[in-house]
Amino acid sequence: MHSKDFIGEAAEICAQLDTARIEELADELVALREREGRLFILGVGGSAGNASHAVNDFRKLCGIETYTPTDNVSELTARTNDEGWETVFSGWLETSHLRSSDALLILSVGGGDAERNVSVNMISAIKLAKSRGASVFGIVGKDTGYTALNGDLTLVIPAVNSDRITPLSEAFQAVVWHGLVSNPKLQQRATKW
């Protein structure tokens, strides 16, 4: 039965998640807040929806100045139309004056692959961040993607079923960021419930 299999796979991922790495990410986000750096969360597709939700949580619960370029569909589509999809994030980050005290948080299934022309907009953003000394964090589903290979601190969601990497990776992005924003190291404001 699919539902039982899916939930069983989710339980396997929970058991295999690198909790020490998640704690490292929490520590890095505390340091980001202390240096008054900004957090820019990047994602496409379902991960863009996750990015928008995560922006709310990091701002409201943790007091971290956080943004995602996909929240402004007018600018996103104007940049795509006028300049191309590949630079849509890096162009947005340039206008935001990305600096060394800032950080990117990449939410992605594959994490980008230049050879296969997948999520090249994230690759351009990561390259810009590296050139400016900004930190690059990630929550991704593949250990072979650009983010996992080039990020400063990337959590890879364990792949327990190659047929369901996308839904499980995107689901666990939410599990991980909710764990982060409720971590006593980071959380400054209580949730309503």
Q: Which residue has the tokens 């930190």?
A: 135
pLDDT tens-digit readout, 23-37:
999 999 999 999 999
Task: Please tell me whether residue 9 adopts helix, strand or coil conformation.
Answer: helix
∠ CA 77-82-85, nearest 5°, is: 60
2-181 sits in which CATH class?
A: alpha beta
Contacts with 3 (C-beta within 8 Å, 6 or more apart), sequence order: none
pLDDT tens-digit readout, 28-79:
999 999 999 999 999 999 999 999 999 999 999 999 999 999 999 999 999 9
CB count within 10 Å of CB 11 equals 11
Kindly give the pairing relationship between strand 39-42 and strand 66-67.
parallel
